[in-house]
Chains A and B, each alone.
Chain A
Amino acid sequence: MEILWFSIVAFMLAMYVVLDGFDLGVGILHRIIGRTEEERTMLIKTIGPVWDGNEVWLLAAGGTLYFAFPKFYASSFSGFYLPLMIVLWLLMLRGIGIEFRHLIQNQMWKSFWDTVFSFASILLAIFFGAALGNVVRGVPLNQDGYFFEPLWTTFTVIPESGILDWFTVIMGLVAFFTLMSHGANYIAMKTDGVLQLRARTTAKISWWGILLFSIIALIATTVIRPEVWRNYTDYPWGYLFPLGGFAGLVGMFMFIIKGKDTKAFLSSSLFIVMMLCATAFGHFPNLLAASTNQDYSITVYNALAHEYGLGVGIVWWILGFVLTSGYFIYLYRSFKGKIASTNLNDHGY
């Protein structure tokens, strides 16, 4: 049961990062790749009908997390109070940025929402990376299983950590470059002409950013939390995850060079999923590691909900997942192909 629900939540979060990741990436690049109002309208069209559904993976993952590991939800949401609230505000700004931009045909109105959309997307990518960084690094849990972190303290990892320190900022940059490249590959896949060329160039540049910061993050993780390697020593098959991630990274570079955008996009998806799996694998059975005293850590064993509820949950979760897969297959099929500049509205139909 523990492993099953840990995997389900991890799967839903990975779906979130892959799917909403590309529209966050489009947001990051919105003002860089799109230079005129028309070009930016085109970029919005590439994500118009799908971004909302993508974002729901975050909500659904949050709900499932609450359902399966209530204690972890309570502890982490109250402990990460400030960054979560800031993430909420950014999600709001980003959502209305996309949905309100096209409602008034006025250059100032559109340019304002372009900036809001892009600003919120950039900060969200960094915050999500930093959040993962906090989970990897561990937090100062007390014996009741709660903690609170200010936004930053001294930017050192110990003893009184903040949300942002040198390690989590590095993780934020990994996420930033990863999603930027993911978004660029998506744009290259969905557009042609000048937008596609710019997207390919951006994908190439940000790939070096991923490589550089991933290596730094890997070394840093080993330094501050060497125990993440313990599971790999005990169960060597886990090395498949980082190897898969590496394959994704290499594939991404090769396909970008060759101009095979769809394959490049799939490679960056593979990279994201495998690196998240690798992190989760190293992290198990911890959900939230205590930097104070290892006994205070919240694990899948001490946070799991009661078995009756989980047994019922697996039934409706599978049903819900089958339905959702159907919606998404239909949605993405009805939206396949490149966006033509002749489409009349911002939603690509």
Chain B
Amino acid sequence: MNDAFLIDRLQFAFTVSFHYLFPQLTMGLALLIVILKYLAIKKKNDHYNNSARFWAKIFGINFAVGVVTGIPMEFQFGTNWARFSTFAGGVIGQTLAMEGMFAFFLESSFLGLFLYGEKKLGQTGHFITSILIFLGSWISGYFIVATNAWMQHPVGYALSPDGSVHLTNFADLIFNPWAISQYSHNMIGAAITASFVMASVGAYYLLAKRDTDYGKTFIRVGITTGLIASILIIFPTGDFEAKNVAMHQGTKFAAMEGLFETKQGAELVIIGQPDLDKMKLDNPIHVPKLLSFLTYNRWNAEIKGLDAFPKENWPDNIPLLYYGYHIMVGLGTIFIAIMIISALLLWKKKLFETRWMLWILMLSFPFPYIANTAGWMTAEVGRQPWLVYGLMKTINGTSPTVSAGNGLFTLLGFLGMYLVLGVLFLLLVIRTINQGPSSATQSH
């Protein structure tokens, strides 16, 4: 493997994975803050307003890190993937430019007002601002997912004489069915992260016996949205995604499910480690015929295994893809269990006294981050060896003039910079949680 190529990939993978830790909370929390503001206005209760103010503080810190780590993403298309940009700019330039015009301006113009202008705006005005911030972050998400969806499932384009692609149908690009399914799955994922984070902080306050009123509110809101989102993530959005992949990206589907051989009535693998030399799974635990049924609603439907595809089109890291997918699905299943049990206890009015469940809720917050990251790894590792599925291989997308040495210089720079950012972020968020929502009264 060409060194510069490896470094370009590592740099993009690292910077985008680190970046996406922040927007997923931004987008999910924006929704929850709108809910809290709505409750505050409807119940005319300052308790919910203080809750919203507290979460707005964390939102502000999170948003700032999301913005600064997001800028390098747009730049890297050009810096490290110049041949890809030349090739695909005629299509994805649309969605990337539209994100700037329709999302970034909206978010950045109103963020300051939302975070610090409550007194000036009044309650209704502040509620509207929170909706604008919510819209901005969700619109931004759509344009980025639509960009990725085009790379997964190119539509609405034609080849130009110089070998690049250009857009022929705008509506096809914007309403790419892949984008709609990927977006709904992704946004529900963001809502899960925010729900778990909110419930986790609530559980911490209850266990630490401080700010317990706020703790209860956070748990109620977190679990209500978390329960709905945990179900929606599997059905219908996850189901829809998986069917799309099965229909259009056979190699990704076979590799992520650990299916080496084409067969009728394929089993659903729960556990097992892929061994590529022997083309089999070690110590597999699986449910017979379930994969065929889930994919085609027929128990004996045929599913293509890796053997049905030429080896040069296989994803280049099948084990990573397989684990990414299984970690995501496994965690998703656990999320449903956690949310159903918590919701039942909440309904029976026992949750706030059930310490073991509070401990589980408190410690659960990292796992949605892992699940979302693993899901994106499935999407992206599974797209390999293609950069644009079926049109351009990743190895042909790099910048011809950026050497491995210069690439490594910036990769190391990003590692150092993001380490500092991560430490600062944790320091500030932990401080905010420690100060607690009762100090979040309207001082601004």
A→B interface (CB under 8 Å) = 48-50, 52-53, 55-56, 59-60, 62-64, 66-68, 70-71, 73-79, 81-82, 84-85, 88-89, 91-92, 95-96, 99-100, 103-104, 142, 144, 146-148, 305-306, 308-309, 312-313, 316-317, 320-321, 323-324, 327-328, 330-331, 334, 344-345, 347-349
Closest to A82 in B: B406
Asked if A347 contacts B115 (CB within 8 A), the reply is yes
**Listed A/B pairs (17) with beta-carbon separation below 8 Å:** A52-B112, A70-B85, A70-B90, A70-B93, A71-B86, A74-B89, A77-B75, A77-B78, A82-B409, A89-B417, A92-B71, A148-B401, A308-B168, A317-B97, A324-B101, A328-B109, A347-B115
B251 in the interface, Cβ–Cβ < 8 Å?
no
Closest to A103 in B: B428
Chain B, range 414-436, C-beta contacts under 8 Å to A: 417, 421, 424, 428, 431
Asked if A73 contacts B120 (CB within 8 A), the reply is no
The secondary structure that dominates the A interface is: helix
Asked if B399 contacts A146 (CB within 8 A), the reply is yes
Task: Given A56-B108, A331-B109, decide whether A73 and B100 contact each other with a Cβ distance below 8 A.
Answer: no
B→A interface (CB under 8 Å) = 60-61, 64-65, 67-69, 71-72, 74-75, 77-80, 82-86, 88-91, 93-94, 96-102, 104-106, 108-113, 115-117, 119-120, 160, 164, 166-168, 170, 399-403, 406, 409-410, 413, 417, 421, 424, 428, 431, 443-444
Task: Give the CA-CA distance A73 to B79 in the complex, in Å.
Answer: 9
In the complex, how many residue pairs between chain A and chain B have their CB atoms under 8 Å apart? 227
Task: Given A66-B93, A70-B93, decide whether A99 and B64 contact each other with a Cβ distance below 8 A.
Answer: yes
Q: Which of A84, A85, A91: most chain B Cβ within 10 A?
A: A85
Asked if A84 contacts B75 (CB within 8 A), the reply is yes
Task: Give the CA-CA distance A142 to B400 in the complex, in Å.
Answer: 11
Task: Give the CA-CA distance A77 to B75 in the complex, in Å.
Answer: 7
Asked if B166 contacts A309 (CB within 8 A), the reply is yes
Asked if A85 contacts B410 (CB within 8 A), the reply is yes
Task: Give the CA-CA distance A82 to B117 in the complex, in Å.
Answer: 39
Asked if A66 contacts B89 (CB within 8 A), the reply is yes
Asked if B166 contacts A305 (CB within 8 A), the reply is yes
Asked if A63 contacts B170 (CB within 8 A), the reply is no
Within 8 Å CB of A64, what residues of B? 97, 100-101
Asked if B98 contacts A66 (CB within 8 A), the reply is no
Task: Given A49-B116, A91-B71, A345-B116, decide whether A56 and B85 contact each other with a Cβ distance below 8 A.
Answer: no
- Indicate which residue in A50, A70, A95, A146 contacts B164 across the interface (CB closer than 8 Å): A70
Task: Give the CA-CA distance A53 to B116 in the complex, in Å.
Answer: 15
Asked if A148 contacts B402 (CB within 8 A), the reply is yes
Asked if B100 contacts A312 (CB within 8 A), the reply is no
Asked if A60 contacts B85 (CB within 8 A), the reply is no
Asked if A96 contacts B85 (CB within 8 A), the reply is no
Having A81-B401, A99-B64, A345-B116, one finds 13 other A-B pairs with CB under 8 Å, namely A49-B112, A62-B75, A63-B99, A64-B100, A66-B77, A70-B93, A74-B89, A77-B77, A89-B413, A95-B64, A96-B68, A308-B166, A334-B113
Within 8 Å CB of A91, what residues of B? 68, 71
- Indicate which residue in B77, B160, B444 contacts A349 across the interface (CB closer than 8 Å): B444
